[in-house]
A and B are shown apart, each in its own frame.
Chain A
């Protein structure tokens, strides 16, 4: 149960990250105070990828867990995917704001932008598939296999995207020499912020899974009473 307490650290880490991002970290040379969006954009993007991976792993586990030793894995994968969708949308919004400030346009099909759009499209397809299968007892299996199939094709994008479009994505174009050298205080702030967002994601997933378990047990009792 130690992990549950660790997850809750975001209650403290999040305000700390906000304070550090705005007041403690120094502003970057070229972008000035606009660069502070990095402390929110990078963790959001990281969490959306993490949530995507977690939902894929849970789906694969669901398919191979024939005896259902771990209950409701497909619903848990769905929960992770829905959190991931929200975080990915926020990452897209903060990213395009940042792109407007640095490259001059909200959207220009950079490889990173392309890959996040593909992830969003996969999520949308997955959610529509699951809603089309509502009430069907094959819902978990089919949704999980679609998610796995879609994730398997992602390496092709990783291979393809940089060959078609050049990347402008800064491994952080925020300093004069265009190399990702971050100040120690900036790095520290980014790290704290990533931890805060990751534990926030874990906490929300944990809450959703607990609510799911309560609802499922209630359903079982209801059916048992019949």
Chain B
């Protein structure tokens, strides 16, 4: 609660400065070891290569390809997105952070970090998948937009869940169990949109993209409101 009071005194500018400070710290700490990123990308590579290997060079139908793509994206994201909060609890820096920073600025900076993490994972996974599974994308811009907004929604929903899982000690697959029912509509819409872009069925309106953006906005707002309950200990 003291953090919030300090925030009001400092005004909006103080919040922005806090966020930037937090972000630069997060990036430098996370990218010193690159542990989470390495695990995510290694998972994605292993999964893609093993699917391609067992398929033996035979291309799948477009629906199967989009399901596989989103499963690989989802689970490689699940391997890394919780690390930003789990690390704070592991290295016992969470208490210090709780005293010095306001909950709002912590949430926003972790949110931005997770979004950029997700974008890096997408940038590695998608070309790899296209390369190994002989996917022919017909509507390239629609495909890229779908991937980007799907990744946005996944990272948006996963950030607050990461904070919850960190409190539970970051136990194994708990994170993906928690995320799945929340992110099921995202996966659903993204899979069908990806299939359309592979088939070249140009949609008359970009309903699915609008849906994904609306979902990520909605879930970010809700998690922003709920975060202080999860984070602040009294």
A residues near B (Cβ < 8 Å) are 63, 118, 121-122, 124-125, 128-129, 132-133, 136, 138, 141-142, 144-146, 148-150, 152-153, 156-157, 160, 164
Contacts and interface: CB of A to CB of B under 8 A. Distances in A.
B182 A153 contact: yes
A63 B222 CA distance: 14
Nearest to A122: B181
Main secondary structure of the interface of A (DSSP, over half): helix
A144 B230 CA distance: 10
A124 B177 contact: yes
A118 B184 contact: yes
Nearest to B232: A141
Interface string B182-211: 101100110010000000000000000001
Interface stretch (B9-17, B75-83, B103-111, B165-173): B165-173
A149 B222 contact: yes
B123 interface: no
Nearest to A144: B229
Contact of B223 (A124, A144, A149): A149
B129 interface: no
Contacts of A125: 177-178, 180-181
Nearest to A157: B185
B137 interface: no
A51 B215 CA distance: 26
A81 B174 CA distance: 19
Contact of A160 (B185, B222, B229): B185
Contacts of B229: 63, 141, 144-145
Contacts of B164: 129, 142, 145-146
29 contacts: A63-B229, A121-B180, A125-B180, A125-B181, A128-B177, A132-B174, A136-B167, A136-B168, A138-B230, A141-B229, A142-B164, A142-B168, A142-B230, A145-B160, A145-B164, A145-B226, A145-B229, A146-B164, A146-B178, A148-B222, A148-B226, A149-B161, A149-B219, A150-B182, A152-B218, A153-B185, A156-B185, A157-B185, A164-B188
B207 to A, nearest CB: 9
Interface in B126-177: 160-161, 164, 167-169, 171, 174, 177
